[in-house]
């Protein structure tokens, strides 16, 4: 297979971890005779620094015209603590998601057997947990109109959803549930929010055409609790953009480290793959960032193109690294291995 892949390393630890993902893909290409052509481009704080724009035209065009995007991380503290900054790195990622129409963000959560003890949760709580979060990615408060009055004393964010936006991701989530344990949990705040009531109504209706999938509903406050109390109850979780952002970071504790979690963002035509951790600026350049989330994002990319055998080889290589404790310090405090060494191990194992 020939694939043209846009690579956006982004900010903070992004470049370091993406390098390891590329190495893994390169190794797969060699062994299985695929041609993966990588083309790098700027996005985020680094793009602002170099071009003034968090998503330069050139980057967007590249992404629109490749088979897939591999993305690292975005964000820089110099913008976070300056509420007056007009241009911010995250705008680049949000614009990219919107322009590529990446409406479904898929985040699988499943602890590795050999890492069960790395979690702050007790073994019996997490052993056997295995669920996937379907997060809507191009709607909600992320994209609604924002206002700030002239005096800077009053602000607003509009959360909006349409039936159509809910429908397209709901079908994906129901189909995923059909291929799994046939349970879908919709998370909302329908006792307070109008958008949540629309979600609930639309999803209830769509559920009728998936009679083999058991559908239930949880309020987001309760869901945030249930994910920790009893994560095994979940199979597929479906939710809106901001709730999905919060719940998926929270759910990362089940696996022991957010440095293990990959995600796929899918649209009608485009697909982007990224680790769910952020730019982790404190770790930048120190060779301590966990590259596994990025490497697993590359595996999700392979799966997306039907390269299941190849994806499995990557999953197995990652499992071996974990089993042999070739991991970064987020997983083993006294580990001697860094970002590079873990990445090397994985690509050598392929």
Ligand X SMILES: CC(C)[C@H](C(=O)O)[C@@H](O)C(=O)O
Q: Rounded CA gap, 207 and 11, in Å?
A: 40
Q: For ligand X, which residue of 67, 90, 99, 160 counts as binding (CB under 6 A)?
A: 90
Catalytic entry in 161, 189, 210, 235 = 189
Reply yes or no on whether 245 is catalytic.
yes
Q: Rounded CA gap, 304 and 299, in Å?
A: 9
Q: Rounded CA gap, 71 and 93, in Å?
A: 9
Q: Binding to ligand X by residue 44, rule CB under 6 A? A: no
**What is the Rg, in whole angstroms, of the alpha carbon atoms belonging to the chain?**
20
Place of tokens 């964010």: 157
Nearer to its own copies, 37 or 192 (CB): 192
Q: Binding to its own copies by residue 200, rule CB under 8 A? A: yes
Q: Which does 60 bind (CB under 5 to 8 A by kind): ligand X, its own copies, none?
A: none
Q: Rounded CA gap, 94 and 101, in Å?
A: 10
Place of tokens 């090397």: 344
Interactions with ligand X, residue window 220-259 (CB under 6 A): 221, 245
Q: Binding to ligand X by residue 176, rule CB under 6 A? A: no
Place of tokens 């191009």: 138
Strand arrangement, sheet containing 271-275 = 35-40, 2-10, 68-73, 271-275, 262-266, 104-109, 131-136, 236-239, 183-188, 214-219
Nearer to its own copies, 241 or 294 (CB): 241
Contact footprint for ligand X (CB under 6 A): 74-75, 90, 93, 191-192, 221, 245, 276, 278
Query: Can you give the binding site for its own copies, defined by CB under 8 A?
Result: 75, 79-81, 83-84, 88-90, 94, 120-122, 125, 141-142, 144, 146-148, 152-164, 189-195, 197-198, 200-201, 204, 217, 219-222, 224-225, 228-230, 242-243, 245-250, 252-253, 258, 278
Active site amino acids: 142, 189, 221, 245, 249
């Amino acid at each position: 297979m020939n694939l043209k892949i846009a690579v956006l390393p982004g900010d903070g630890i992004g470049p370091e971890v993406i390098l390891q993902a590329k190495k893994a893909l390169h190794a797969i290409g060699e062994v299985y005779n695929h041609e993966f052509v990588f083309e790098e481009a700027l996005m985020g704080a680094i793009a602002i620094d170099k071009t003034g724009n968090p998503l330069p035209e050139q980057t967007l065009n590249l992404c629109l015209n490749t088979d897939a995007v591999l993305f690292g991380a975005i964000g820089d503290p110099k913008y976070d603590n300056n509420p007056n900054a007009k241009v911010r790195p995250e705008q680049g990622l949000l614009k990219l998601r919107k322009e590529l129409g990446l409406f479904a963000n898929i985040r699988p959560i499943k602890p590795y057997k050999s890492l069960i003890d790395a979690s702050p949760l007790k073994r019996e709580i997490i052993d056997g947990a295995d669920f996937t979060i379907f997060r809507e990615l191009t709607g909600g408060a992320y994209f609604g109109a924002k206002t700030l009055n002239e005096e800077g004393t009053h602000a607003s964010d509009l959360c909006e959803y349409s039936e159509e936006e809910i429908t397209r991701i709901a079908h994906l989530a129901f189909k995923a549930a059909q291929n799994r344990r046939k349970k879908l949990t919709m998370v909302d705040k329908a006792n307070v929010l109008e958008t949540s009531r629309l979600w609930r109504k639309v999803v209830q209706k769509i559920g009728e055409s998936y009679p083999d999938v058991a559908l239930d509903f949880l309020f987001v406050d309760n869901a945030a609790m249930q994910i920790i109390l009893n994560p095994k109850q979940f199979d597929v979780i479906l939710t809106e953009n901001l709730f999905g952002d919060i719940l998926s970071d929270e759910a990362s504790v089940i696996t022991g480290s957010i440095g293990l979690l990959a995600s796929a963002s899918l649209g009608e035509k485009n697909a982007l793959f990224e680790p769910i951790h952020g730019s982790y600026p404190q770790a930048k350049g120190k060779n301590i960032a966990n590259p596994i989330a990025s490497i697993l994002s590359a595996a999700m990319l392979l799966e997306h193109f039907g390269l299941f055998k190849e994806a499995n080889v990557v999953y197995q290589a990652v499992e071996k690294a974990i089993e042999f404790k070739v991991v970064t310090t987020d997983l083993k405090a006294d580990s001697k291995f860094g970002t590079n060494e873990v990445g090397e191990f994985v690509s050598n194992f392929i």
